[in-house]
A and B are shown apart, each in its own frame.
Chain A
Amino acid sequence: SQTIHQWPATLVQPVGSPLSLECTVEGTSNPNLYWYRQAAGRGLQLLFYSVGIGQISSEVPQNLSASRPQDRQFILSSKKLLLSDSGFYLCAWDWDSNTEAFFGQGTRLTVV
């Protein structure tokens, strides 16, 4: 069966510090991978998606970047965090944009 792991679960970082959130999927190959950010009352905002190794599409210009160094690994990064980067970050995968998406447990990021 397929599983998705996302870590860390919570993170408190000072403004201006770097960020690296990691997401890995097991039990499948060549998944589509996604990073979402969730802010209170604003639903899910798609940040990045990837259909293959090294292929990253950005949905919203921002202070963040994403990389996919391996087929089942998706990393969300920032060189310098802003207060506005605080939020709940969710990684997800699917086989097709019209099929069910599977979500990780999320990372609560607080920038102080």
Chain B
Amino acid sequence: AQSVTQPDIHITVSEGASLELRCNYSYGATPYLFWYVQSPGQGLQLLLKYFSGDTLVQGIKGFEAEFKRSQSSFNLRKPSVHWSDAAEYFCAVGNQAGTALIFGKGTTLSVSS
């Protein structure tokens, strides 16, 4: 069955430090992959997506993610974190069954000064 795992429930990073949020997926074919961000009390906003082609994708707000088929991973990265990046981050994969995207349980990012 398709699934998405975000191993880290909560991560704290110092402002200006680099960030990597992990995402592993289980999928029977070439996946469509997404990263969303959710600020407190808000809906989800798409950061970036991967459908095909270059395995390193650039997104909004300085984020990037790399698709690694051999590791079934789609980790999100940012070279220098800003305090405004504190939020919850969700990884998602497209659904072969034709229903909704499959989401991970999310990683909460805290940024310390």
Interface residue ranges, A against B (CB under 8 Å): 6, 32, 34, 41-44, 46, 49, 57, 59, 88, 90, 92, 94, 97-106, 108
Contact with A along B97-112 (1 / 0, CB 8 A): 1111101111000000
B17 lies within 8 A of chain A by Cβ: no
Chain B: interface secondary structure? loop
Given contacts A49-B100, A98-B95, A106-B42, contact A42 B105 (CB under 8 A): yes
Contact between A97 and B41, CB atoms less than 8 A apart: no
B34 lies within 8 A of chain A by Cβ: yes
Contact among B9, B43, B46, B98 with A97 in the assembled complex (CB-CB below 8 Å): B98
Contact between B95 and A43, CB atoms less than 8 A apart: no
Contact between A105 and B90, CB atoms less than 8 A apart: no
How many chain B residues touch the partner (CB < 8 A)? 24
B44 lies within 8 A of chain A by Cβ: yes
Contact between A44 and B95, CB atoms less than 8 A apart: no
- CB closest chain-A residue, reference B6: A43
CA distance A44 to B24 in the complex (A): 17
9 other contacts beyond A42-B105, A106-B43, with CB at 8 A cut-off?
A43-B90, A43-B103, A43-B106, A49-B99, A97-B97, A98-B94, A100-B34, A100-B49, A103-B36
